Structure 1
Amino acid sequence: MAKIDAFFKLMLEQGASDLHMVSGQQPVLRIRGDMERVQYNVLDNDELRGMLYEITPEDKIKIFEETGDVDFGYEIPGMARFRANLFLQKYGIGAVFRLIPSEIMTIEQLGLPPICKKFAMLSKGLVLVTGPTGSGKSTTLAAIIDYANKNRKDHIITVEDPIEFVHKSQGCIVNHREIGTHTKSFAAALRGALREDPDIILVGEMRDLETIQLALEAAATGHLVFGTLHTTNAPKTVDRIIDVFPSHQQAQIRTTLSESLKGVIAQNLFKRVDKKGRCAALEILVCTYAVGALIRESKTHQIPSAMQTGKKYGMQTLDDAIMELLLKKWISPEDAYDKAIDKQKFVQFLKEPPPEF
């Protein structure tokens, strides 16, 4: 048993989502969104480096020493998996570990809307899950892939950096590929995936033009592609994809995206005030013919109106989702106001409206 495993055990006992270990400070846990120090000695650089190197694969240590940061996955059998990031900072080495539960929560357990099941059963197209870092994108995607795995008879390939949730093959065959370990890059893995008879491809992160272009090509050529982006809402997600491309390609990409995009789930996590825990507010965009026309005609600013009128298709705006949580008294008015897009709607719930209102 590695020395650092005791901290991972503490994470599980305390219900923490992240563990921060940085030279010159005490270890810190993120519990329900708040940072809480662990009653432990201040970490010495050499001691911490020894602890971290004990669990870091040799090839990853080499990359870390060359570049100053590296990602990898670490698993304690029978306990949990962790996504690790090592980095250098002013006082020495540092690391952040994100807990990846060994049990994948279902769509029902997460309280996701029924449209997520439809996304899982699509024959082709692009479905994106977006939101800030730590908003639960991987958990939502894992639940959707899990539903497909149980209810389809297909081939699923996941491409991640590093592998997070591990799906056991059920109705589907599932193959997990990790960047740096099993393939050079997201783009290389996507190019390879098209020759590996996939039905569903999960791209852990659509970081650059080449990866986005290949994901769009895969979706356009009859595959179902799931991916994540760090955008806050559905219209910004569409704009982000188009803006990645050079201006002379953007008209063509709008047409491709209008045909390939099937849905966007944009989510934000909130701390619950009624009980311990957190809950997600989800914005859902379903790419109907009308939405496709808006993307093609460069009218993405009109997408929120289309979402308001498309509720029968399963669409909802982020503000409507936040309002629903607020009216249930699950979240605080201050938190709702802070993360809302149209803040005017939420001012009436605040005890002290901000100066601009």
Structure 2
Amino acid sequence: MRAKQRVNSKKGAKYEPGIKCKGAKTVTVKPAGYPLKGMFHEYPETSELDVFEFYAREQWNGFIIKKGDFLFDRRMFPDFAFKVIEVEPDNSEIGENTKFTVEDYEIDFFVPEMKKEVTFKNIIGQEKAKQKCKLIESYLKNPEKFGTWVPRNVLFHGPAGTGKTMMAKALATATDVTFLPVRATKLIGEYVGDGARQIHQLYEKADEMAPCIIFIDEFDAIALNRNYQEIRGDVSEIVNSLLTELDGIDEHEGICTIAATNMLHTLDSAIRSRFEEEIGFSLPTVEERVEILKFYTATFPKKLAKDVDLEALAKLTPGFSGRDLVEKLLKNALHKAILKGGKVKMAHFEAALSESLCKRSEPPRGMFA
């Protein structure tokens, strides 16, 4: 009679006594983390591969595994998961001669931008923000003259599309330092503890590349006020990791952290207090909207018709951010002109504006939409 099958998880490796299968020659695993809240915050690290191989073969001997499965530790670190990255041959059994390789934690999404093309000239308006960024520029060029009084952590806040990312890139260009952009949502891992681990890895990478700018966009995704913990169960671990890095307990010389958010009121007060400087970004004035329209239409591959009145368009677009003007108005109008042929006419802009305003007036889609 066939022995009862034991399964480690829904996608986990199977242990089937008495079932013959090819023996696994090599297995590559990667630490994946803990599936539940309340487990250890730090991951176990593999320091001696020979010891890990002996431990792995003894614990998982007889398990039939394939690429993508999870192997769960039941002894030293209960319920800690290792994801199977490669197994040769696939769908084979772990045995006494199986060789194991352990990959490091995934940090490939921390990709630095070495070449930066955005300058302060590309940013129209935001003069107060530019002026405040001069202090950061001075620090990154001459960090030694600040001593312990460095502008280490800076918070950009304001409506979406007002140039926060562009300002950070322009600052990196002006100081000729590495720009390390990270979308905050990428720091949220599949398991509780992943976010904390990845934040520490981010700063380790930045230390290697200093001087540099760490730019964390959509910051509210990981720095939520603790009142929101029921919504995001792992927020406390992520918040604590951020506090450790932002506090400067571990010296990060030559590193400036710039975080950007559209929702300042949702940030955790403890994290917000770690930022020495808060720099606000505002929607462009009518005069600034005119300048934005002139700057970007000058780069059009098609000429503007004589009837185009950019000042009139600027007056018709209150509440538009710089990104709104470029993406929803200018790009749309240019595409209409390309499809119809000829110059970009005022009618193309008016049609694009009408479509954009209709979308703005639509009620948000919800469960009753």
What's the TM-score once normalised by structure 2's chain length?
0.32
- Choose between structure 1 and 2: higher strand proportion: 1
Larger-gyration structure (1/2)? 2
Of structures 1 and 2, the one with the larger relative CO (CA 8 A, separation 6+) is 2
TM-score by length of 1: 0.33
